[in-house]
Amino acid sequence: MNEFDSAATAGGNGATPRPRLEDVAARVGLSTASVSLVLRGVPGPSERTRQRVLKAAADLGYRPDRTASALASKRSRLLGVMIDIHSAFQAELVEHLHTAAEEVGYDLVLSTQTRTRDESTAVETLLAFRCEALILIGPVAPASVLADLDRQAPVVSLGRRISGAGLDVVRSADDDGLSQVIDHLVSLGHRAIAYVDGGKGVIATDRRRGYRSAMRRHGLDEQISILHGDLTEEAGDKVGRQLLDDDDLPTAVVTFNDRSAIGLLTALRRAGVDVPGDVSVVGYDDDTLSRLACFDLTTVSQEAEELARQAVLAVVERLDQGRTASREIVLAPSLVVRGTTAPPR
C-alpha cells in the first residue's frame, strides 16, 4: 500500500527515532557486526542468519544511515554531478548518469549552477558531500583549476575537451558533428551557410572550428559567416530577428545548439519565413524539444546515453580499478535529419 517504506512506521512526527543497526541486532540477538555484514551482502554470515537479519530489518523498517556508513567506511559511494538545470540536454544526460551509476552501485548528488550560483559554488557543495568523484558537465573553469580539483577527487569533464590537465574527458567529436552538418547541407545544394556561435567556451570553439574547416573543405571559404550568439533560445531569437532586419538571409543556418536553433526557428517562422522552404535550420544536441513534431529539427545527436555510460565507467576505473593515467574518450556524433532542412529554392 505504501510505496515509500516497506514497514509500518510508528506515528507522531519525529517522535520515533529511526531504527539503528543496533536495534536490528538486538531483535535477532546478534552483534551489529553480523548485521552489517548481512545488510551489505558481504559473504560470511550463514544462510540462516541472513534470513533472520533481513526479516528483522524489514520488520523494523530499517534504513541504513548513509552518513554514518560513509564516515566509517571512508567511502561515500557518491558521485557529484554539476549541471546547468536549465538545459534539456543536460537533463537527459543526468537521466542516463543515474541509471549508469546505479548499475555500479553509486549514487548521484546533483549540484546546479544557475544565474545566481556559479560553478565553483556548485563544485564546493559537491566536495562538502564527500563525493568520491566529480562529473562536470561542460565546465567552464580554466584547465589549471580543474587540474587542481582533480587532485582532490577524480574529475571527469563531460562534453568539454581539456588538453593535458591530466583529467578524464568524455565528449563527442564536435568538429566532426559540424562537418556532418555541412556535408548534409552542401549535398542538398546549399552554399550560403551561416553559423550561429555559442559563446566563448571550448565547446563553442570546437564547433566553430568544425564549421570553418568543413566550409573550406567544400571550397566555400567565401561563404563563411559566423554570427554572434549564445546558448539560449533567446540568443537564437535575437539572431533570427537580426537576419530578418538585414534582409539578407542565407539559405541555411546552423546553430551552436538546439536551444538557439529553436529560438531562431521560431523567430523566422513567426515572420512568415518558410523553414525549410526559404531557409534550412540545423541545431546541435538532439534535445527532447527538437524531436517534437512541431519543431522537427534537423540536429546532431551526441549519444547522451553512451556519453553518460562512459563518464561513469571512467569514474569507476579510477575509483575501483586504480587507474591513474587520464583518459579521453571521444564519441562520434551522428546527424539526425528531420524536417528543417531541404534543398534551397
Q: Which of residues 15-74 bind DNA (CB under 7 A)?
A: 17, 20-22, 29-34, 36-37, 39-40, 44-49, 62, 64-65, 68-69, 71-74
| Stretch 28-67: interaction string toward a second copy, x if CB under 8 A | -----------------------------------xxxxx
Q: Which does 123 bind (CB under 5 to 8 A by kind): DNA, a second copy, none?
A: a second copy
Residue-wise DSSP of 213-263: HHHHHTT-GGG-EEE---SSHHHHHHHHHHHHHHT---SEEEESSHHHHHH
Least CB distance from residue 39 to DNA, whole Å?
Answer: 6
Residue with cell 520515533: 16
Other CB atoms within 10 A of residue 334 CB? 14
Q: Closer to a second copy at the Cβ: 145 or 173?
A: 145
Choice from 26, 54, 104, 145 touching a second copy (CB under 8 A): 145
Can you give the C-alpha Rg of the chain in angstroms?
25
* Interface positions, 249-268, toward a second copy (CB under 8 A): 262-263, 266-267
**Distance (Å, whole) CA 165 – CA 122:** 20
- Show the beta-strand stretches assigned E in 73-139: 78-84, 107-113, 133-137
Cis bond before residue 276 (omega within 30° of 0) = yes
Alpha helices in 153-232 (DSSP H): 174-188, 202-217
User: Which one of the spans 144-152, 223-231, 277-285, 330-338 is the region binding a second copy (CB under 8 A)?
Assistant: 144-152
Q: Which three cell numbers stand for residue 83?
A: 549541471
| Stretch 165-204: interaction string toward a second copy, x if CB under 8 A | ----------------------------------------
Q: Which does 44 bind (CB under 5 to 8 A by kind): DNA, a second copy, none?
A: DNA
Least CB distance from residue 219 to a second copy, whole Å?
Answer: 34
Closest CA to 345 of 263, 275, 242, 294: 275
* Interface positions, 84-113, toward a second copy (CB under 8 A): 85-86, 88, 91, 94-95, 98-99, 107, 109-112
Q: Closer to DNA at the Cβ: 118 or 124?
A: 124
CB 180 within 8 A of CB 213: no
Q: Closer to DNA at the Cβ: 128 or 337?
A: 128
Q: Closer to a second copy at the Cβ: 22 or 221?
A: 22
Q: Which does 31 bind (CB under 5 to 8 A by kind): a second copy, DNA, none?
A: DNA
Closest CA to 203 of 235, 177, 241, 226: 177
